[in-house]
Amino acid sequence: MGNARANVIVFWAVQASALLALFAPPSLGLVGLAVASHYLRMLGITAGLHRHMAHRAFETNRPVRFVLAGLATMAMQKGPLWWAGTHVLHHRLADREGDPHSPARDGFYHAHIGWFLDSTRWDRVDPENPVVKHFSRYPEIRWLDAYFGVPPLLLAIGLFALGGLRWLVWGFCVPTVTLAHATFAINSVNHMVGSRRFETPDDSRNNAATALLTLGEGWHNNHHRYQRAARNGFYWWELDLAWWFIRLLRATGLAWDVREVPARVYEEARQPRCAVPHALAS
């Protein structure tokens, strides 16, 4: 209970720390640092925890997985096993009883932040969860999950050592807050605002704005229709930079078994919208 309370305090303290930007005026270089810090860590979340670990949309080797999971853990969104395992539960029960974050059932605040801070219900993931069970075989992933506070602390210390308070604020505090809300927006905003190409048995929506902030995760209705694909932007005009990164990994031999969107799903997209049975939305 004490650790859970400490996690909540640390979370809100980091959220509040972004206000230090008022006392550390930005420069073009500092804004660039913030953008780089946001998107590098988002790449770890999107490509590493989400598409690789949670959905097995592509395979990679242990060093690449560790780097991606390490970047993701620096975002202060708990450990990789917890993150990926909880996400699998969301897909299994999307917008139904048992979904950790459904704005339709539990309201916007709970879907956006409340569930993440609810230590009584969502602080642990079932060890029999298939994602947890599979990736627990790797000691480096278990270590990141057990000591998820260490990578962000090292990042914060390193930035302060290199550039003092201004680097800490613009390289860590501000982008950690933008990372949190961009990621959480997929759980909240993307189940409320946007378009629906597919009539999935949930409230998922495509949203270009959240896609831009999350390297492609905002094409959420696409993703809920076929979650095993390594791309969320099903068409070239749906910007999905994480997909471009995965293609780069594949081209260099660092990714394989990359799952594409099946032709039947594209054919379905050309038809008038019809309901997709929950068992087929995968």
Give the mean model confidence (pLDDT) for residues 264-282.
71
Task: Report which of 271, 86, 133, 97 is spatially closest to residue 197, judged by C-alpha positions.
Answer: 271
Q: What's the predicted TM-score (pTM) here?
A: 0.93
Q: Express each pLDDT in 16-39 by its tens digit.
A: 999 999 999 999 999 999 999 999
How is 60-79 classified by DSSP, letter by letter? E-HHHHHHHHHHHHTTSS--
Token digits for 263? 């032709």
Q: Express each pLDDT in 117-149 by its tens digit.
A: 987 788 888 888 999 999 999 999 999 999 999
Structural domain total, the chain = 1
Task: Report which of 269, 274, 276 is spatially closest to residue 202, judged by C-alpha positions.
Answer: 276
Residue 279: per-residue pLDDT:
45
Q: Express each pLDDT in 156-210 by its tens digit.
A: 999 999 999 999 999 999 999 999 999 999 999 999 999 999 999 999 999 999 9
Give the mean model confidence (pLDDT) for residues 243-271.
97
- The chain-wide mean pLDDT, for the chain, equals 94
Query: What's the domain range around 57?
Result: 2-280
Confidence of residue 115 (pLDDT cuts 50, 70, 90): very high
Give the mean model confidence (pLDDT) for residues 237-263.
98
- Does 265 score more than 60 pLDDT? yes
